[in-house]
Structure 1
Amino acid sequence: MSVRDLNLPQREPSRGELPSRVTIWEVGPRDGLQNEQTVVGLGTKLEFLDRLAAAGLGTLEATSFVHPKWVPQLADADDLLAKLDRRENVRYPVLVPNERGLDRALALGVESIAIFGSATETFARKNLNRSFDEQFAMFEPVVRRARHEGLEVRAYLSMCFGDPWEGAVAVDQVVTAGRRLLDMGCFQLSLGDTIGVATPGHVEAVLGAFDDVTRLAVHFHDTYGQALSNTLAALRAGVTTVDSSAGGLGGCPYAKAATGNLATEDLVWMLDGLGIDHGVDLDALVRTSAWMAQQLGRPSPSRVVKALTGG
């Protein structure tokens, strides 16, 4: 079912107000599953990726090369990539924390990677065991080598709207960190509301402080139920890439207050209502998330999945 099936009124985006198309950066297979209490089997992960690709999602963040001690749910990253049936015209980025991770990515033929930085000192130390400045020194050779090998590199920046240890995060601090990552050669910077405290006005302020919004993406968690409204604010500010997770899976193993990511189904429903293209088959996506919820043994957090499956 879609907005059109219900004959609900839609609006055409006004020039300069909303984009005509949005790229959905699907993070469920990595950011979603990494926060599960139980380890999901390799076969289930491979089927999940294949179902998501069949639903029309063109970017699927497949896994992460973090040490299994820290994220045991993704300890099968090498096996997953070796057995992954990569579809044509689908991007399968992998999170790479350091040069050792890059070595593994290169050996497995990865073409797109992401690095994961912090806008705050405390989270950089807790997540990366580096100071705020030291994290950039760690990332620089990774980005340089990856680009030399022809890989595209995306940067995540966490704690952009609030930090559970430091509280409010100054906008200029976010911009400074973000620019350092972009200046390294990352093609895109994803601004993360890691603990889900952002509001639309805050989103507008952060995005408005950057010189080039076209190189930005947004990554919202739904702790306070603001993920969709924050996304709409970002779209109106000129952002055209939105991170989301099928079925609303995910959280953050280093920030226990964080709930799941923005659900891809909820995002698609809103985009349909706004007349914005995205290329995703909502029915196929809902079936996929309902299937994954069965594998995990709990209901999907996505409101759209619940509405369209009767629970």
Structure 2
Amino acid sequence: MSPDTPESVARSGTDRPSRARFGMILAVARKDIEDVARSRMLLAMVALLVGFVTVLYAAFGLIADDGTAGETLAWLALPMQTILGIAALVVGYLAIVGERRSGSIKLLLGLAPSRRDVVLGTLLGRSAIVVAALTPAAVLAGALSLALFGSLPVRAWLVLTGATILFGFAFVGLAVGVSAAVATRGRAMAIVVGLFATFVALWELVVAGPYYLIHGETPPIEAEGWYLFVDGLNPIAAYAGIANRAVSGDAWPLQFGYGLREPEALTTPSTERYVGEAPFYLQEWFGVAVLLAWFVVPLALGYVRFQRTDL
């Protein structure tokens, strides 16, 4: 055996802590997954998603005379936004604050994991739950499309599945970030419910209302870049935008309307609503960046607050 060199000692000294740290993150994630599995929350998520997929394909494939595989896939985006968005928030908002209020967070931190390990492990575990809940529904949708229509738009199916997973990750990151930042369950619930209500029920008032006050009219289909940019910051709108570019039908966003926007605007890509060459923040890929931002930014803010909090 060759003697250890300073370089090898330095390498092993840095590798061991990093491997141990990753092991701590995996341990926290494993505990998180087991906790959710014991509560049967994962089973409920799978049952709801599979049930909606079955009902939707039965309605379009067996009842509708002119239904197609692509149109059915497009309609699938709506229940995915509803169920997966709410489920991801429910799974995530109590992840850390629940442990904190019960006192188990002190026991966990007293063993080996750091606060960073707890946040990252929780995020990893809750994200894995989203993937586990969505996978059976996505596989079932592909199988039913082949059985009922004799075809499956593979590219659209893959893009929609990937976008749905990313959509779920965005809401998990948001919920875990809130859970890390606040000290009480009630405050965590109020924040995530308020944000979801804003995305779904109040967004038109938030973005189209100021436009009406500035211009004295409702936003047209061909609108200014600033308005299209702000409107696209909603993770639900970002997800629907990705879906609409992938599927042949109209993937509607889960948003209430108050008559301030044309219904056509909800399913028209931003690049087609901008006069001239669309800037980068209206391009197709920007919806992915928006979802990633909702995954990362709230989590980072929550982690900073969690690090500074006296437990």
> Is the structural similarity TM-score above 0.5?
no
Higher-helix-fraction structure: 2
| TM-score normalised per structure 1 | 0.26
| TM-score normalised per structure 2 | 0.26
Higher-strand-fraction structure: 1
